[in-house]
Amino acid sequence: MGNLIIGSYRDPLPEETGSDPYSGKVVLPEGMTKIKDMQFFRSERMTSVKIPDSVTSIGDMAFLGCSHLTEIVIPPGVTTIGSNAFQDCKNLRKIVIPESVTSIGNLAFEGTPWQEEYPDDFVIVNQILVRYKGSAETVTLPESVKEIQESAFFRCERIKWIPVLIADGNPICIADSGLYHIISPREYSRIRSLVLRKNYSVSMFTGRKYDLIAQMFLYDLDPDGTVRYIRKHFTNFFMYLIIAGHIKTIRKILDSGKFLLKRNMDEYLKYAIANQKHEIYLLLIEYKQKHDWYQTPGQNLEL
């Protein structure tokens, strides 16, 4: 079969024609600037595609389910690869990605041999962490990572902690109790506005807000405003840290000696016991002993 030359990027989509109009070797025309969303969605008879240098973006689900594609070369002018762009291309083992790509959408390469056979647990493209394939409970990000794609830790149920990554406006990554959040610079600004500037027009789940405050305190971001917020909301905030297992933040709070009051200590100890947070319980006991907060010699709570 000869090459199929597409004369316009507004050719009908498969769902518009009721069939798959693309098969064999597909050559896209020079002058085309964008491969639109779902352009080749589930074109299972297409065996190859040549993308011209004029293309600058590849849309969402553009090649999703193209199961006979084995190789694709993305030209050097492309800057954006959309979400699910090559997802479920089950034979796509070779992808050439130029340095010009600066944005990669969710699960862009999910279900491809290229990603599954990537020789490292961290799938990194142009300093973007596209996917984490490992199974560690604590993940330390490589220094080369400057941006985290939102679905990089999709279905990584074992992860309990991902150290925060903050540098020159990069995203913030938060995890606890097997859950994770990827917070973009824009969202960080919104939450910071809510937390530190009392902009209550911005709604945010309390747990997520407390996660962010914990990280801001741990890494000395906006320290004056963060400390003021923690002082004002300390009891609820600290009890959240206990149940969420934010051990590093709790250690720093204890080391600072600025927040805990003797009258509340037994309440925190009981809360740690009730939620099976044994390590935090022992930290609090040590702090209580260090400050001689027992009413009578030898008084203690038993685990």
Task: Specify the CATH class of 1-117 in words.
Answer: alpha beta
pLDDT-derived band at 210, boundaries 50, 70, 90: confident
113-161 confidence digits (pLDDT tens): 999 999 999 999 998 889 999 888 767 778 787 777 777 877 776 665 5
Can you tell me which residue has the tokens 């490292």? 120
* CA 28/CA 51 separation, integer angstroms: 6
Can you tell me which residue has the tokens 């009908």? 12
What pLDDT was estimated at residue 178?
38
11-37 confidence digits (pLDDT tens): 444 344 445 677 889 999 999 999 999
Closest by alpha carbon to 192, among 175, 161, 167, 217?
217
Domain boundaries, the chain: 1-117
Taking residue 174's Cβ as centre, other Cβ atoms within 10 Å add up to 20
pTM of the model: 0.57
Segment 203-210 mean pLDDT: 68
* CA 80/CA 58 separation, integer angstroms: 6
Whether the CB-CB separation of 226 and 196 falls below 8 Å is answered with yes
Give CA separation, 136 vs 132, 148, 160, 171, 269, in Å: 10, 17, 9, 21, 30
254-294 confidence digits (pLDDT tens): 999 889 888 889 999 999 999 889 999 999 999 999 888 86
Closest by alpha carbon to 241, among 174, 183, 184, 289?
174
Residue 169 has pLDDT above 50, yes or no: no
In the chain, the percentage of residues whose pLDDT exceeds 70 is 73
pLDDT-derived band at 198, boundaries 50, 70, 90: low
213-246 confidence digits (pLDDT tens): 887 788 777 788 888 889 988 999 999 999 888 8
What pLDDT was estimated at residue 95?
98
Burial 59-92 (b: 16+ CB within 10 A, else e): bbbbbbbbebbeebebeebbebbbbbbbbbbeeb
Phi/psi class of residue 72: alpha, beta or left (left: φ > 0; alpha: ψ in -120 to 50)? beta
What pLDDT was estimated at residue 5?
43
Instruction: Tell me which of 77-86, 149-158, 182-191, 238-247 is least confident.
Output: 182-191
Based on its alpha-carbon atoms, the radius of gyration of the chain, rounded to whole angstroms, reads 25
